[in-house]
Chain A
Amino acid sequence: MSGPVNDALPSARPGVGWLWRMAWRDSRRSRSRLLLFLSAIVLGIAALVGINGFGDNLARSIDEQARELVGADLVLSSSQPFPSALQPTLRKLGRTRSDEVAFSSLVQFPKGEGVRLAQVRALTGGFPYYGDWVVEPAAAVATFRQASADKQRVALVDDALLVQFGAQPGDSIKVGNLTFQIAGRVRKTPGQSEFTASIAPTVFIPGALLAQTGLVQRGSRIQYRRYYQFASTINVDQLIKPLEPQFDKVNIDSDTVASRKKQTGRSFADLTRFLNLVAFVALLLGCVGVASAVSLYVREKISAVAVLRCLGASGWQALLIYLLQIALMGLLGAIIGATIGTVVQLLLPKVFAGFLPVAVSVAISWKAVAQGVLTGVLVAVLFALLPLLEIRRVSPLRTLRASYEENTKRADPLRFVVYGLIVAFITGFAYLQTREWKQALGFATGLLVAFGALAGLGYLLRRVVRRYFPSSWSYVWRQGLANLYRPNNQTITLTVSIGLGVFLLATLYLLQGLLLGRVQVAGSGNQPNLVLFDIQPQQRAGVVQLVKSRQLPVLQQVPVVTMRLAAINGRTASEFKKDSTRGVPKWAFSREYRVTYRDKLISSEKLDLGRPPSLGADGTPRISIEEGYFKRLKLKLGDTLTFNVQGLPLTTIVSGTRTVDWSRVQTNFLVVFPSGVLEAAPQFYVLMTRVPNNNVLGGVQRELVRSFPNVSAIDLGLILKTLDDILSKISFVIRFMALFSIATGLLVLISSVFVSRYQRVKESVLLRTLGASRRQILRITLVEYALLGLLAAIAGLVLSVFAGWALAIWVFEVSFVPNLGPLLILAVVTTGLTMLIGLLNSRDVLTRPPLEVLRSEAG
């Protein structure tokens, strides 16, 4: 034994190369186990890459098409005609400009007598300056622009409207008192999505003919816009900055390409934020899966680690061998996930088509892919480290005594470092998704509380079962219960992983309900389905007469006055702008309020605080505020609100709040004034009725156009149908993304139960060897898993209701009414699945001879 051995010279310790080699060699026989771990990562990363990639594409497309979205470099808009004092300034601002007056009105196709509410835009000038105004025939645009100058009666009409009434270019359309010839079919107008086009299709008429239509009257809801085009060298935001105080004073809004970019991006932030949260949930579930799959893996590797330690490998070397494997698998899982996510990302714009304001150009978002892959590896390593750290402490003594247990009483300080890193990762990730520290911290704390509560519950369960063990129960029950606290039990691991899975899924479900419920409109029963608005006071009696003459009910008739909020407790909008600590949202001052007046509450309202609206002895109106709005503005009873009622300031006192059931089809208001104050203000009436069918509807609409051309009729049925289309698109995407979480949750459940198999199989085989029947083993297993599943599921649900409530109140600012039925079903299904998977896991023990099982497990 001299020759070959002598060439081996003891020198340096093995390098990284050896670690890689060992990692590779060791993985050859355990890849199926690693697959379980890999699958937990795949779906979470797929969801993440899908959503982030879509978000990137959307943001890029908005960026690229923002100019086309506005159609001009600057848009000024107001609900009042631009004041004449400001006209010289506005003229000086730029030469290339267009004017538009827009409002809703019923339009009629004389050919087929079809009537429908449309958006009328009376246009002068060359707008749109950017983007494609897709009109057929193309020459119609030139005809229309020329007509403005010549006062020719030609109109451009949205495709949706022409299709609905079977009209063609060349036919005529009646708008107010005038009949126009349809010059072209509008396929696409810059800045208008298919969605808006289908709710209120547009009719463009020459601005010069507006007055003759007779549709513009005092109190009508009209939007005045002026579009500017500038040379590309001009910085528009800088140009209008000095003018903004003047604009604010007369309630003129300005919209530039830059501000539109921001606005459009923000309006889709709610949706992408929620979808991101869904992806995050899938990823977190995957993390639980990683931790439990790796802990199973580590258990299987302990004896091999002991041999390596015995042969001279250090604790860190042993750890690194497995960490490298996990990191590589994580990388592979993340790449597969990113690939699936990229496919999902390419599909999403198709699902949302027509709903988005821009055409989303699909391109692979390498940023999202890189982020996803990096996150995948990071998650794999971080969550695998928890069980992997044990490897460092595996004693080589296990080679001599298989039953040797390391002394793990001394806490491993590195564990706390890993816990810290995980908390930092979750918080950091949540921040990246929400871009708000408060929400990110809230999210991380919530998860931590959930985790702690579940682990505590598992611990408690173990203690309680042991303390109050029912010794008089049958053998099967005693054995099943004892499994919960015997050495090597999985009670805490399973309670945490199943509970956390149920918690995340249930929270997601509640959240989905919150978001969808927010826009749901009830459209059945004896609810109104036709709303007539813009009824001028002098037309009111006539319109009521018209409705009644057709045997239709007048379900509601309310006056509406438009106004803006000028001050809260004497402090104006600009004072609030300077002091951001008050936290009054900006929109409180910028929005237009549609207000009604009456002295009592109606059936869709309930008194919350104080009193209904009334007129004070001093003549100051005591107003009633909607409860949620009251909270968002951080008001107190007795606060004064000053409104600008079309030029006149009016100070009021907040005397009460109301809860409003917004899902009822009613004219609901944020602010209600008492009678006796607003009667003389410019106003219009809204009347609600219910028509039995489309024939009656058509008749009413035709008569309205003839007798009261300025009155608009909104067919709620049509709107509900359109809304329903949009909602089903959104909920499809939400459910599709939730599917990733559910699938991951299932995988986690499987791997959690799989972990416990390692312990249970040997015990069950022993019991069988000692003569226990299959039926007994089956029932013992069922008792154990039923208890674990049920308890974890209920705990998860209770936590999710808390989380849903917190999210509803603080994040989405809506009231929280959970639908508990489906949640209970989730609890039952989870328990059933836990039992089923537990049984499937033990099927080897039940169906094969004990010896065979022992041999294969030993191998």
Chain B
Amino acid sequence: MLKVENLTKSYASGGRSLTVLEAVSFELHAGDTFSIVGPSGSGKTTLLGLCAGLDRASSGSVWLNGIQLDNLNEDQRAAVRNEHVGFIFQNFQLLPTLTALENVLVPLELRGISNGTKTAQALLERVGLGGRGHHYPTQLSGGEQQRVSLARAFANQPKILFADEPTGNLDADTSATVVDLLFGLNREAGTTLVLVTHDLELAAKTQRVVRIKGGSVVSDSLTQRTAASTPAQ
């Protein structure tokens, strides 16, 4: 589902080249759950951005559902994202000018599906916000916004879901609800999950944890969940 090979990212900074990610490789199969952990500035968000096709690597390759992203331009990568990828962000990233329902509709509409309202409404109900579809993001709490974001992430039936610190901005109770929903929805849809987090407890809920530091992978281990979970294909 996702194959990363020798991925390196460096920036020119003050006339010098600064390497933030160095020769990272791994492979995920359909239905795998995977987390990337590491201290601030270790390069985990950079890695997520590269895997999801939001950015280009300096060298190395990324294959997403068999498509090599390195050769695609930004618009082609956008099409791939719309077709195969779902996103959850730390700061929710809902479009402030759209209602909750409209936010969930966007990925469907971008696919040319004009009658997606029923799907979107069903997803909102699934995350417990069936009655809040006409509310704007500013009228929702942080937890509710993240739940709308979850519904949006699953709207286009993605093959793979990228979550960047999904509970980073939430309190403990709300976090628990969102995490339950995230893993629940993921199991139901059989989506591959890539999670970036500081929270080791949350990371432990995935099957595999990669730890990076200073841009390099320092450990890659399977968790106890691996044996228990079976990908729902």
Binding site for B on A (CB under 8 A): 1-15, 17-18, 21-22, 25-30, 303-304, 306-317, 395-397, 399-402, 859
Contacts and interface: CB of A to CB of B under 8 A. Distances in A.
A315 B75 contact: yes
B109 A14 contact: yes
Contacts of B108: 8
B114 A5 contact: no
B98 interface: yes
A317 B109 CA distance: 12
Contacts of B81: 310-312, 396
A418 to B, nearest CB: 20
Contacts of A1: 126, 154, 185, 188-189
A526 B65 CA distance: 98
Interface of B: 45, 48-49, 54-55, 74-75, 78-79, 81-83, 85, 87, 89, 91, 93-98, 102, 106-114, 116, 118-119, 122-123, 126, 136, 138, 152, 154-157, 164, 185, 188-189
Contacts of A400: 45, 48-49, 54, 89, 164
Given A1-B154, A2-B188, A29-B97, 10 more contacts: A1-B126, A1-B185, A8-B113, A10-B113, A11-B112, A18-B109, A312-B81, A314-B78, A395-B54, A399-B54
Nearest to A7: B119
**Chain B CB within 10 Å — which of A17, A28, A311 has the most?**
A311
A321 to B, nearest CB: 11
Nearest to A309: B78
Nearest to B86: A311
Contacts of B114: 14, 17-18
A317 B112 CA distance: 13
A5 B112 contact: no
Contacts of B155: 5, 8
Nearest to A317: B110
Contacts of B111: 8, 10-14, 312
Nearest to B152: A311
Given A25-B97, A397-B55, A311 B87 contact: yes
10 contacts: A14-B110, A17-B114, A29-B97, A30-B97, A303-B93, A306-B93, A311-B82, A312-B81, A396-B54, A396-B81
A286 B189 CA distance: 53
B107 A307 contact: no
B83 A312 contact: yes
A26 B95 contact: yes
A8 B109 contact: no
Given A18-B109, A399-B54, A5 B157 contact: yes
**Chain B CB within 10 Å — which of A9, A306, A313 has the most?**
A313
Given A315-B75, A395-B55, A8 B157 contact: yes
A312 B107 contact: yes
B87 to A, nearest CB: 6
A464 B76 CA distance: 44
Given A13-B110, A314-B78, A26 B118 contact: no
A4 B125 CA distance: 11
Contacts of A2: 188
A18 B110 CA distance: 8
A312 B96 contact: no
Given A2-B188, A15-B112, A396-B78, A10 B96 contact: no
Given A14-B111, A18-B109, A310 B75 contact: no
B113 A9 contact: yes
Nearest to B94: A307
A21 B97 CA distance: 12
A366 to B, nearest CB: 37
A314 B156 CA distance: 16
A310 B54 CA distance: 7
Nearest to B75: A314
Contacts of A11: 111-113
A529 to B, nearest CB: 71
Contact of A399 (B87, B136, B154): B87
A549 B215 CA distance: 112
Contact of A311 (B75, B96, B110, B189): B110
Contact of B156 (A8, A18, A309, A315): A8
B98 A25 contact: yes
Nearest to A11: B112
Nearest to B126: A1
Contacts of A402: 91
B116 A8 contact: yes
Contacts of A29: 96-97, 136
B189 A5 contact: yes
A119 to B, nearest CB: 71
Contacts of B122: 3-5
B184 to A, nearest CB: 9
Nearest to A306: B93
A4 to B, nearest CB: 4
A304 B97 contact: yes
A22 B106 CA distance: 9
A396 B75 CA distance: 11
A346 to B, nearest CB: 40
Contacts of A18: 109-110, 112, 114
A26 B164 contact: no
Contact of B93 (A25, A307, A314, A397): A307
**Chain B CB within 10 Å — which of A3, A7, A316, A859 has the most?**
A7
Contacts of B55: 395, 397
Contact of B123 (A5, A26, A316): A5
A313 B110 contact: yes
A28 to B, nearest CB: 6
Query: Closest 3 CB pairs between A and B?
Result: A312-B82, A1-B188, A12-B112
A13 to B, nearest CB: 5
A308 B95 contact: yes
Contacts of A401: 45
Nearest to B190: A1
Contacts of A6: 157
A5 to B, nearest CB: 5
Contact of A26 (B87, B98, B188): B98
A7 B54 contact: no
A4 B115 CA distance: 12
